Chain A
């Protein structure tokens, strides 16, 4: 009897305990959630205080424009993926990719971030005070700052005059004899109207003395494939062209320079778009039309006090010779 009573008692204790545990678990989760939230706050606070004190201690060393900028911190190097046309051109111009006899090696610093699109490069540089990246001049916006290179502002005018040297051609390639329609469209891109659109898009028209274009009244379909960098410009040009020649339709595929060149070579597309120079074996097979010249802008965070970079410094940053902004200034 005694035992059974004991058990009963225990069971009652158990149910009370269970209710208590439920409450306890609830309270614990609440406390945990709160502490997570608070932890986030304190951690950012902690980070900010040492920065501030450091700057107060050394007011003469740091730039007065950017009180929160610690130029002794590592530069975040942002690059494009190894198959991008922008990267190919930039790394060649900046001598990051070095040819030595038969070998050609990309000396991009170990640990450089690589992204597969202009938008991601912009987002990464926008979010990191110590970042540097490169994008097409046409994609520069106020989210980031385009730095001067060797003292030259990256503007369309400077690309035209040749003062801003970080640039590459946008090409249209075709194979063999062009059909009348394709010829007419390429004529349009080289005409005054076409070049106006090109300049409006912050690219540099390449035609030397563009003529007025008159609608030809042709009809048919033109298939275009290639570089993602050329695509936005191409879309604008096609829009204007179909407005003049309503009988013409376009089929567009935006899949990268190499794919576009390949498509033009095997004849599956009429026109290939490329944002890089053709390789020798490609050039021998294709007709090459320069659509525009595109500057490549070196972009840095808006809070970065540096605004002029020498091309040697850019090379040094991208190859890992210089790792902090203090070394660059």
Chain B
């Protein structure tokens, strides 16, 4: 008996160490990335000058004298992401409501795997699809040359659908049955119940899904680089049907060739992107904290 006990105890400590190590590895990874970005990015920002880096729209790393302003790309990232939200959130949310509340069993068996499959499609495929289908479509239907904020927004809007649908759906499903019964009890119709009781009750989950969607959209690279046109536009010339460069595409476009301060400035672009992600994550934990309090 005693040896058995001892064995299980030592087993327990061993497993505890394994779990602890696993947890530690992800923490180390995050810290290492932070350190790398800050150590190489911050000096570059210092050398370029914070104001010249963030608030200048002139990007000319191969000119002499070189200029490294990324304002156009910050604005570009924001526009493209906003466009993705405008397209992705209504469709995703309505799809989630449909799946959770209205969908017949047989249809569910088709739609749900389709949504999951959408999540698994590699982004380069989305980019290819965008370049061959969406870009010509935008060109024919709306004018311009097709490589534009609009094309990028459409592609990203489709790409964030799975995130929004699956998280919203599960949060809608998690609304207690009693809420609905109460609503029916006072004579509300199914639609009234869903839209005025269930969806508001699932609010925090839905916001979470939207924020994760924003995170995905702002960080997406391979698909955007193929449809955005990647031109650095002065702020006054940014239009829905004109090309745009985002923070992520700026990095991937020039990283392979860049050297010296040019390369550092691309890492600094990564720092700015990182700040965006931190802001999003903070918003996420604020929402979670509020839900827990309620």
Chain A residues with a Cβ under 8 A of chain B: 10, 14, 17-18, 21-22, 25-26, 29, 40, 43-44, 47, 74, 76, 81-85, 88, 97, 102-106, 110-116, 120, 123-124, 127-128, 130-131, 228, 255-259, 262
Complex CA distance for A17 and B188, rounded to whole angstroms: 12
Question: In the bound complex, do residue A116 and residue B229 qualify as a contact, i.e. CB atoms below 8 Å apart?
Answer: no
Question: In the bound complex, do residue B257 and residue A83 qualify as a contact, i.e. CB atoms below 8 Å apart?
Answer: yes
Question: In the bound complex, do residue B257 and residue A110 qualify as a contact, i.e. CB atoms below 8 Å apart?
Answer: no
Q: Can you list 27 A-B contacts with CB-CB less than 8 angstroms, sorted by A residue number?
A: A10-B187, A21-B191, A29-B98, A47-B140, A76-B145, A81-B257, A82-B60, A82-B62, A83-B253, A83-B262, A88-B62, A102-B64, A105-B60, A106-B60, A110-B233, A111-B242, A113-B243, A114-B245, A116-B230, A116-B254, A120-B131, A127-B136, A128-B139, A131-B145, A255-B256, A256-B256, A258-B258
Total A-B contacts with CB atoms under 8 angstroms apart: 115
Question: In the bound complex, do residue A47 and residue B141 qualify as a contact, i.e. CB atoms below 8 Å apart?
Answer: yes
Residues of chain B from 129 to 145 with CB closer than 8 A to chain A in the complex: 131-132, 135-137, 139-141, 145
Question: In the bound complex, do residue B230 and residue A259 qualify as a contact, i.e. CB atoms below 8 Å apart?
Answer: no
Question: In the bound complex, do residue B135 and residue A127 qualify as a contact, i.e. CB atoms below 8 Å apart?
Answer: yes
Question: In the bound complex, do residue A17 and residue B259 qualify as a contact, i.e. CB atoms below 8 Å apart?
Answer: no
Contacts of A123 in B (CB 8 A): 131-132
- Count, chain B residues at interface, CB 8 A: 45
A134 to chain B, nearest CB (A): 16
Question: In the bound complex, do residue A106 and residue B231 qualify as a contact, i.e. CB atoms below 8 Å apart?
Answer: no
Complex CA distance for A112 and B237, rounded to whole angstroms: 12
Question: In the bound complex, do residue B257 and residue A25 qualify as a contact, i.e. CB atoms below 8 Å apart?
Answer: no
Contacts of A82 in B (CB 8 A): 60-62, 254
Given A116-B225, A116-B252, A255-B256, are A110 and B140 also a contact pair (CB < 8 Å)?
no
Contacts of B131 in A (CB 8 A): 120, 123-124, 127
Question: In the bound complex, do residue A44 and residue B65 qualify as a contact, i.e. CB atoms below 8 Å apart?
Answer: no
Question: In the bound complex, do residue A22 and residue B102 qualify as a contact, i.e. CB atoms below 8 Å apart?
Answer: yes
A9 to chain B, nearest CB (A): 12
Complex CA distance for A259 and B141, rounded to whole angstroms: 42
Question: In the bound complex, do residue B62 and residue A83 qualify as a contact, i.e. CB atoms below 8 Å apart?
Answer: yes
Chain B residues with a Cβ under 8 A of chain A: 60-65, 98, 102, 104, 107, 131-132, 135-137, 139-141, 145-147, 184, 187, 189-191, 225-226, 229-231, 233-234, 237, 242-243, 245, 252-254, 256-259, 262
Contacts of B132 in A (CB 8 A): 123, 127
Contacts of A112 in B (CB 8 A): 231
Question: In the bound complex, do residue A259 and residue B257 qualify as a contact, i.e. CB atoms below 8 Å apart?
Answer: yes
Q: Which of A29, A103, A262 contacts B259 (CB 8 A)?
A: A262
Question: In the bound complex, do residue B231 and residue A103 qualify as a contact, i.e. CB atoms below 8 Å apart?
Answer: no
Name the residue on A nearest B65 (C-beta). Answer: A103
Name the residue on B nearest A75 (C-beta). Answer: B145
B272 to chain A, nearest CB (A): 19
Contacts of B254 in A (CB 8 A): 81-83, 116
Name the residue on B nearest A108 (C-beta). Answer: B231
Given A21-B102, A21-B190, are A83 and B136 also a contact pair (CB < 8 Å)?
no
- Of B62, B104, B140, B189, most buried by chain A (CB within 10 Å of CB) is B62
Complex CA distance for A83 and B258, rounded to whole angstroms: 6
Q: Which of B63, B187, B189, B237 contacts A17 (CB 8 A)?
A: B189
Complex CA distance for A44 and B191, rounded to whole angstroms: 37
Name the residue on A nearest B266 (C-beta). Answer: A83
Given A113-B231, A256-B257, are A104 and B63 also a contact pair (CB < 8 Å)?
yes
Complex CA distance for A171 and B206, rounded to whole angstroms: 57
A264 to chain B, nearest CB (A): 13
Given A22-B102, A81-B253, are A14 and B147 also a contact pair (CB < 8 Å)?
no
Complex CA distance for A258 and B258, rounded to whole angstroms: 7
B278 to chain A, nearest CB (A): 27
A53 to chain B, nearest CB (A): 16
Name the residue on A nearest B228 (C-beta). Answer: A113
B263 to chain A, nearest CB (A): 9
A299 to chain B, nearest CB (A): 15
Name the residue on A nearest B145 (C-beta). Answer: A76
Complex CA distance for A74 and B226, rounded to whole angstroms: 21
Question: In the bound complex, do residue B257 and residue A257 qualify as a contact, i.e. CB atoms below 8 Å apart?
Answer: yes
Name the residue on A nearest B191 (C-beta). Answer: A21
A7 to chain B, nearest CB (A): 8
Complex CA distance for A81 and B258, rounded to whole angstroms: 11
Contacts of A97 in B (CB 8 A): 62
B145 to chain A, nearest CB (A): 4
Contacts of A130 in B (CB 8 A): 145
Question: In the bound complex, do residue A128 and residue B145 qualify as a contact, i.e. CB atoms below 8 Å apart?
Answer: yes
Q: Which of B230, B233, B242, B259 contacts A258 (CB 8 A)?
A: B259
Question: In the bound complex, do residue B257 and residue A258 qualify as a contact, i.e. CB atoms below 8 Å apart?
Answer: yes
Given A43-B140, A115-B230, A127-B132, are A14 and B62 also a contact pair (CB < 8 Å)?
no
B108 to chain A, nearest CB (A): 12
Question: In the bound complex, do residue A111 and residue B243 qualify as a contact, i.e. CB atoms below 8 Å apart?
Answer: yes
Complex CA distance for A116 and B245, rounded to whole angstroms: 12
Question: In the bound complex, do residue B257 and residue A44 qualify as a contact, i.e. CB atoms below 8 Å apart?
Answer: no
Q: Which of B226, B234, B257 contacts A120 (CB 8 A)?
A: B226
Contacts of A257 in B (CB 8 A): 257
Given A83-B62, A102-B64, A106-B62, are A43 and B141 also a contact pair (CB < 8 Å)?
yes
Contacts of A74 in B (CB 8 A): 145
Name the residue on A nearest B146 (C-beta). Answer: A128
Complex CA distance for A43 and B141, rounded to whole angstroms: 6
Contacts of A44 in B (CB 8 A): 140-141
Q: Which of A76, A85, A113, A228 contacts B230 (CB 8 A)?
A: A113
Contacts of B242 in A (CB 8 A): 111
Given A10-B187, A88-B62, are A111 and B237 also a contact pair (CB < 8 Å)?
yes
Name the residue on A nearest B188 (C-beta). Answer: A14
- Of A21, A44, A47, A116, most buried by chain B (CB within 10 Å of CB) is A116
